[in-house]
Amino acid sequence: MRDDTESILARVRERWVAEGATPASPAGVAEMAGFEERYGVRLPAEVRAYFGALNGMAEGWDAELVAWWPLGRVRTVAEEMAGHGSPMPAASEHFCFADYSVWALAYAVRLTADPDQPAPVVVVRGMNDHVPAAPSFRDFLAAYLNDPYAALHPRSST
């Protein structure tokens, strides 16, 4: 985890509070371990730090109309898209952690059994439609603080 991750998380919290959103209670060690056990993954340090410090929002949205989910709400893209057709490739490795405008879009991070693997973030725009947003969860949060619209609505590379 980079040294500035704590600073980024503090700035995200400040932003949410200033915008009227209520951060959720931090996820505990047992909750994170239960999530890892249920899905057969290990949370990378930056993702663990996020859920241990912020854990999404208890209620409300940010100024960009994004609801950031607490760990208890986080599910795979495959679970979220069940019944809506064939989901994107590796849908069981990508975990939705936030949505824009009541699931017009979702934001998902790739998690594996190896916490040292990169945890890139993608924007899920539909059953088979996703766009890379950031090479890591930490980079996604930093981009969100710097230019929220660009971070949350990346242009497709195609």
User: 11-56: per-residue pLDDT in tens?
Assistant: 999 999 999 999 999 999 999 999 999 999 999 999 999 999 999 9
- Confidence check: pLDDT of 1 > 70: no
Report the predicted TM-score, pTM, of the whole model to 2 decimal places.
0.93
Ordered by start, the domain boundaries in the chain are: 5-147
Does residue 47 sit in helix, strand or coil?
helix
Residue 72 DSSP code: G
Which tokens is 8 given? 């980024």
Which one is predicted more confidently, 82 or 3? Answer: 82
Distance CA 50, CA 96 (A): 14
Cα distances (Å, whole numbers) of residue 4 to 39, 58, 61:
28, 25, 25
What CATH homologous superfamily does 5-147 map to? SMI1/KNR4-like (3.40.1580.10)
Q: What is the pLDDT of residues 64-112, one digit of tens each?
A: 999 999 999 999 999 998 877 666 778 899 999 999 998 899 999 999 9
Task: Please tell me the predicted confidence (pLDDT) of residue 157.
Answer: 58
Residue among 75, 73, 71, 61 nearest 26 (CA): 71
Which one is predicted more confidently, 126 or 70? Answer: 70
How sure is the predictor about 123, in pLDDT bands with cuts at 50, 70 and 90?
A: very high
Which tokens is 139 given? 């980079």
Facing residues of 68 across strands? 98
